Structure 1
Amino acid sequence: MEITAVEAIPVRVPLVPFEEGGIAPYVTNHNELTAMDRVLVRVDTNEGVSGWGEVRAFLSPAATVSVIEEGIAPIVEGHSPFETESLRRLLFIEYTNVDTFFAPVETACWDIVGKVLDRPVYELLGGHGAPEQTARRHREHVDETETSERCEVAYCLGILDPERSAERAVEVRDAGYSVLKTKAGRDWREDVERVVAMHEATNGELEFRLDPNQGWTLDQAVRVGAALEDEGVYLQYMEQPIRVDSHRALARLATRTRQPIGPNEDTYVAHNLRSLVEAGAVDVAVLDLTPAGGITGLRQVAAVADDAGVPTAHHCAFDLGVRTAAVLHAVTGIPGFALPPDTVYYGWERDVITDPFEVEAGTMRVPEGPGLGVDVDMGVVERYRTD
């Protein structure tokens, strides 16, 4: 079996407004989102089996499509999709790292492999015991008569005023979630006020993740941790509170706060996670299969954290159904993912797969079909296509 073609299809899908139960505008310390550009990637083979991957648009949808179709495709065409490990080793391009653009192609190869073998991807990853750490973590949410696995997920919310944040936190708790992640970083005092409001409104029944996207300085992060502790709020983790590659500063922060530190963007850089572990600067590793170069690369990075005894969670990049499926398979099939992956799946106007996921009691069902277990609805794709 050989790869014969790689096609990248850009789409822009709107987010549901907050007033209608959605999350738009989704506000961070650097932007506001009401829609998101994504790129779907289809890999075809000479035996008629195709697979799908998905990635966010970088720089622009056109730039992302160009790198994938004109840069990645010629390198992988003619190779077997079963070569998920060796393919990424072919991608040596001077002066740049193209793992991000290769990731959806690699995911599509896993989809093909699973379809050929008639097995779901999570079973092929060698760590089927991983659901003990994820899907079965809160069995009270799951019908024991179900044969499929369910994976607990964390609800994500942008920066809002304390009142609306508290209102949504109550809704999230009542919907069965146990973890809420909120953005931060524009004003650390307001960040504290917002988390405290949500904590009090939910009677301490939700855990929180706080993500300023590198938006704080070291002293501000120390103040946030202390202020929350004074209010009796202990975060599940503080995600990438200061800028990347400041490993010694992160280590100092870890000694000055009892709030767990969860590097995220830092883990996107090759070998950084090992450096963070050695510096004592990581309590939780927030990983992402896209900058890792796909599921194979994610498994390699997750092993570093697992060997160090550091629990892992998976980042969300406003994923539609294809990458959502890939994430669910990855955290189910790769050991070490002891914390729920982030998701904003409930925020989309519509998904591009034929059978969209449903979030029930804060969990999502891991697809049981072969490969990624999802099919793309080309009618919906054409509706949102932007090229």
Structure 2
Amino acid sequence: MITGLRTRVVRVPLRAPFITAQRRTDAVETLVVELSDEDGVTGWGEAPQVWRVTGDSLAGSRACLEGPLREVLVGAPVDPRETAPRVQRAVVANHAAKMAADIALHDLAARRTGRTLAEHLASLVGATATTGPVRTDVTLSAGEPADLAEAAVARAREGFTTLKVKVGTDAGTDVDRVLAVRAAVGPDVVLRLDANQGWDAREAVRVIGELEDAGAGLELVEQPVARRDLAGLAHVRRHVATPVMADESVFDLDDLVEVIRTGAADCVNVKLAKCGGLTPALEMLEVAGRHGLGRMVGCMMESHLGVGAGAALVAALGLPGAHDLDAGWWARSSPYVGGVVYDGARIALPDEPGLAITGLVAR
């Protein structure tokens, strides 16, 4: 039985500013939650602050966790199949708070059974977790062509073979930015674009078409148009050869169903901070796969804790390819004792039970 819930704010400076078409940030700002049981076992979760995407704040997430989510969690059984639905039903929206509670619940359950988080998640869906590191891309913040090219070369030297280029800040110069990156790293590095809703449908078709004609060799283009513009997203998909990925257009299962129904995307980026944790993410990834969509697990600007949960989800389902889990790499250091470790593009998952986080680093 869950007997306690505790929250703490954690702030970790980034190695450099993270800039997209939607926002700029210089630090990871997140709310860490700990759930404890009658045996003194603790599970960890986090609720990242992402004002411009999910609308979640540290204050709002804390109020949600300390209020209605505490009411449904304390006294509840440590069984995600029984308790996780209570978390999802307890409040409307508050995706980050639900993410924190849900991850902590699964972490606690995994620790109680002596399984890693990946093994625990795999057991829930009748799968066998893969072993070894999970691969991630790395994001190049929006910037001028020369700066992007320099950053791309540096990341490639560090072992990243998949780069995610932030565009959408200026459709008139985005082609130059991407071609500068391609020229700098050569043909063997995989390039993904992420416009973060920065174009309209007409601009997206023009920019992507010019890049295709120039031989930019793009793997995919993520969220080229506004979140609610599924007609525009479908229009882009019909008029370009490059696969189109939905990100902000898909928060939850209902959003995913609409994307599938309208044929608006080739693939989807499922993020725990958008959907509310591991429980809904498992369902969304299963549905997306059943309908033939490409599947990626991504992250917001969260800490090693949220990234560790996302990486465990990838390992649990055996999802191939490079995922979008570089947020912890952007942090100057991990604020936790234990947990995942970055080695260039590889995220090493711990062998210990759950997320294997045992505390916060003293600062």
Check conservation: 1:325, 1:373, Cα contact below 8 A.
Answer: no
Going from structure 1 to structure 2, the CA distance change for 1:101 and 1:284 (only over 3 Å counts) comes to same
Q: Which amino acid aligns with 1:76?
A: L
Deviation of residue 100 (structure 1)?
A: 3.3
Partner of 2:182: 199
Partner of 1:179: 162
Question: What is the rounded CA distance, in whole Å, between the counterparts of 1:39 and 1:157 in structure 2?
Answer: 26
Partner of 1:62: 59
Q: 2:152 aligns with which of 160, 169, 179?
A: 169
Partner of 2:6: 7
Question: What is the rounded CA distance, in whole Å, between the counterparts of 1:377 and 1:15 in structure 2?
Answer: 17
Deviation of residue 208 (structure 1)?
A: 1.5
Secondary structure of 2:146's aligned partner:
helix
Secondary structure of 1:271's aligned partner:
helix
Deviation of residue 93 (structure 1)?
A: 5.0
**Does 2:62 correspond to 1:79?**
no
Partner of 1:37: 29
Q: Which amino acid aligns with 2:257?
A: R
Going from structure 1 to structure 2, the CA distance change for 1:92 and 1:296 (only over 3 Å counts) comes to closer
Question: What is the rounded CA distance, in whole Å, between the counterparts of 1:275 and 1:315 in structure 2?
Answer: 20
Q: 2:296 aligns with which of 313, 335, 338?
A: 313
Secondary structure of 1:97's aligned partner:
coil
Q: Describe the superposition over 1:296-340 as per-residue Cα deviations: whole angstroms up to 9, x where unpaired.
A: 110000011110121211222122121111111011102545442
**Does 2:311 correspond to 1:328?**
yes
Question: What is the rounded CA distance, in whole Å, between the counterparts of 1:248 and 1:337 in structure 2?
Answer: 29
**Does 2:351 correspond to 1:368?**
yes
Check conservation: 1:88, 1:102, Cα contact below 8 A.
Answer: no
Question: What is the rounded CA distance, in whole Å, between the counterparts of 2:6 and 2:197 in structure 1?
Answer: 34
Q: Describe the superposition over 1:236-266 as per-residue Cα deviations: whole angstroms up to 9, x where unpaired.
A: 2111111123222211211100111100111
How many residue pairs align between the two structures?
355
Question: What is the rounded CA distance, in whole Å, between the counterparts of 2:22 and 2:145 in structure 1?
Answer: 19
Q: 1:88 aligns with which of 61, 85, 90?
A: 85
Check conservation: 1:115, 1:370, Cα contact below 8 A.
Answer: yes
Check conservation: 1:6, 1:41, Cα contact below 8 A.
Answer: yes
Q: 1:100 aligns with which of 96, 99, 107?
A: 96
Matches within 5 A, 1:217-366: 217-336=200-319, 338-355=321-338, 357-366=340-349
Partner of 1:138: none
TM-score, L = length of structure 1 = 0.86
Q: Describe the superposition over 1:19-74 as per-residue Cα deviations: whole angstroms up to 9, x where unpaired.
A: xxxxx222112322112311111111112111100121255322221111112111
Question: What is the rounded CA distance, in whole Å, between the counterparts of 1:193 and 1:345 in structure 2?
Answer: 29
Q: 1:113 aligns with which of 109, 112, 121?
A: 109
Q: Describe the superposition over 1:152-200 as per-residue Cα deviations: whole angstroms up to 9, x where unpaired.
A: 1111121121111111111222222111112221101322211111111
Question: What is the rounded CA distance, in whole Å, between the counterparts of 2:321 and 2:283 in structure 1?
Answer: 16
Question: What is the rounded CA distance, in whole Å, between the counterparts of 2:332 and 2:160 in structure 1?
Answer: 21
Check conservation: 2:56, 2:96, Cα contact below 8 A.
Answer: no
Deviation of residue 348 (structure 1)?
A: 1.2
Q: Which amino acid aligns with 2:197?
A: Q
Q: Which amino acid aligns with 1:10?
A: V
Structure 1 unpaired stretches of 5+: 17-23, 132-147
Q: Describe the superposition over 1:58-116 as per-residue Cα deviations: whole angstroms up to 9, x where unpaired.
A: 5532222111111211121110121345432454357x334431111111111111111
Question: What is the rounded CA distance, in whole Å, between the counterparts of 2:143 and 2:41 in structure 1?
Answer: 45
Check conservation: 1:122, 1:128, Cα contact below 8 A.
Answer: no
Q: Which amino acid aligns with 2:324?
A: P
Between Structure 1 and Structure 2, which shows a larger proportion of strand residues?
A: 2
TM-score, L = length of structure 2 = 0.91
Deviation of residue 8 (structure 1)?
A: 1.6
Check conservation: 2:4, 2:36, Cα contact below 8 A.
Answer: yes
Question: What is the rounded CA distance, in whole Å, between the counterparts of 1:339 and 1:308 in structure 2?
Answer: 21
Partner of 2:52: none
Check conservation: 1:27, 1:159, Cα contact below 8 A.
Answer: yes
Question: What is the rounded CA distance, in whole Å, between the counterparts of 1:87 and 1:171 in structure 2?
Answer: 42
Question: What is the rounded CA distance, in whole Å, between the counterparts of 1:9 and 1:191 in structure 2?
Answer: 40
Matches within 5 A, 1:120-199: 120-126=116-122, 128-129=127-128, 131=130, 149-199=132-182
Q: Which amino acid aligns with 1:216?
A: W
Question: What is the rounded CA distance, in whole Å, between the counterparts of 2:332 and 2:225 in structure 1?
Answer: 33
